[in-house]
Structure 1
Amino acid sequence: MDIYSIFLIAIALAMDAFSVSLTKGFIIKNIRIYQIIVIGLFFGGFQVGMPVLGWIAGEQIREIVSSIAPYIAFILLLIIGLKMIYDSAIDEEEKEESSKSSFSYKELTLLAIATSIDAFAVGITFSFLNIPILIPVTIIGITTFLLSETGIFIGKKLGHLFGNKFEIIGGVILILLGLNILLQGLGFY
């Protein structure tokens, strides 16, 4: 997998965190700079840790499933992409209601876990495709951090205009990357 594809995966994975950050920027009044940085570090940190855990799990079973790895990668990325698109259909008011208007480490931890579960499956995919994990997780973590920070600032200014469109874009990107992996595995190019 080339660096361009890894960067696209990083952007797609960061869309959940970006959307939550956008909402946080819109909802939390008088957010402080250290809180903005902590939010980015939580989201970026979990987006680094989850693929590593997935990659480790994938390494344990890669030999068993190596012949069907492109199919598994496609299915995982398809499911993640469809879930992101489905989640974007949840009513925005419901999302805002469930997102508290104050800063809480407990809530932030739960949000970081929730937005990085799909990264676990991507880590498994990297393992099945025999991709070393260090460069992808570095790109994923930095991208998520930067997009989370950006999301907060945009949310403070324009969050109500964009809503869930970023999750839809992320879902479509993952589905297309999964299809690309499948077609490569089948020898189409």
Structure 2
Amino acid sequence: MWLFIFNSILLGVGLAMDAFSVSIANGLSEPKMRRVKCAAVAGAYSFFQFLMPMIGWVLVTALVSWFGVIQRFVPYIALGLLLFIGIKMIVESLRGAEEKEARRLTVPILLMQAVATSIDALSVGFTLASYELPSALAASLIIGTVTFIICLFGLWIGKRFGSIFKHAEVLGGIILILIGIEIFVKNIFFTT
């Protein structure tokens, strides 16, 4: 139980790093953003970080129920996806990927950002295939809650301190890689 909660929190932290970085940029772009808007921005990121793993879980569990053979490959798929996502996040962060231009955050821009930063969470839903619905839902809720808190913090940092955390995605990438390895090892070596 505690390991499940701890892993879900770490997964949430890893997945939220894209949204955290974008939240810092949004705070920089709009330093007088009101608290209500900050909560709405963090809520948008949080909602999509919750929704995407559930969509991925539904897709994979439907496939697994039709093709039971796929289930034994889930740890390999999880490891591959999380390694790919984690390495991609680290490389993009170290390259200094995209510089955000200063502009006021609108609803369409926010929705595009929320979807773009949560795409990785869709593939994480594939890694939750071994969970029953209540566990997958709980993991997704934890991921969404962690994202909300981290994004509020990112907005606050952006509004207050500037871009001192410009490589936050490196930490997120490392966390995703470690979780991928943990899922693989647990499912390959410790499954009865």
Instruction: Give the TM-score normalised by structure 1.
Output: 0.90
Q: Give 2:171's aligned amino acid.
A: I
Residues 1:84 and 2:86 are matched in the alignment = no
**Residue matched to 1:130:** 131
Counterpart code for 2:187: G
Tell me the distance in 1 between the aligned counterparts of 2:141 and 2:44. Answer: 14
Please say which of residues 4-13 and 78-87 is displaced more in the overlay. Answer: 78-87
Distance across 2 between alignment mates of 1:42 and 1:101: 18
1:96 correspondence with 2:100:
yes
Which deviations, in whole Å up to 9, do the C-alpha atoms of 1:52-82 show, x marking residues without a partner?
A: 1111101112223111211111001111111
Indicate conservation of the 8 Å contact 2:31/2:158, yes or no. no
Alignment of 1:158-177 (within 5 A): 158-164=161-167, 166-177=168-179
1:7-26 aligned within 5 A: 7-26=9-28
Q: Does 1:45 align with 2:47?
A: yes
CA distance in 2, matches of 1:185, 1:50: 23
Unaligned runs of 5+ in 1: none
Moved over 4 A (4+): none
Q: Is the 8 A contact 2:32 2:159 kept in 1?
A: no
Q: Which amino acid aligns with 2:141?
A: T
Corresponding residue for residue 62 of structure 2? 60
- Residues of 2 paired with 1:38 and 1:90: CA distance? 30
Larger mean Cα displacement after TM superposition, 178-187 or 109-118: 178-187
3-12 or 24-33, which deviates more = 24-33
Residue number in structure 2 paired with 1:107: 109
More off after superposition, 32-41 vs 105-114: 32-41
Give, in whole Å, the separation in 2 of the partners of 1:34 and 1:151.
Answer: 15
Residues 55-64 or 9-18, more deviating: 55-64
CA distance in 2: counterparts of 1:126 and 1:30, whole angstroms: 39
TM-score norm. by structure 2 comes to: 0.89
Instruction: Note if contact 1:29-1:101 (Cα within 8 Å) is conserved in structure 2.
Output: no
Aligned residues: 184
Letter in 1 for 2:76: Y
Separation in 2, partners of 1:182, 1:134: 21
CA apart distance, 1:151: 0.5
Structure 1 residues 104-144: Cα deviation after superposition (integer angstroms, max 9, x where no partner):
101000000000001001111101x2353111011011111
Correspondence for 1:184 among 176, 183, 186: 186
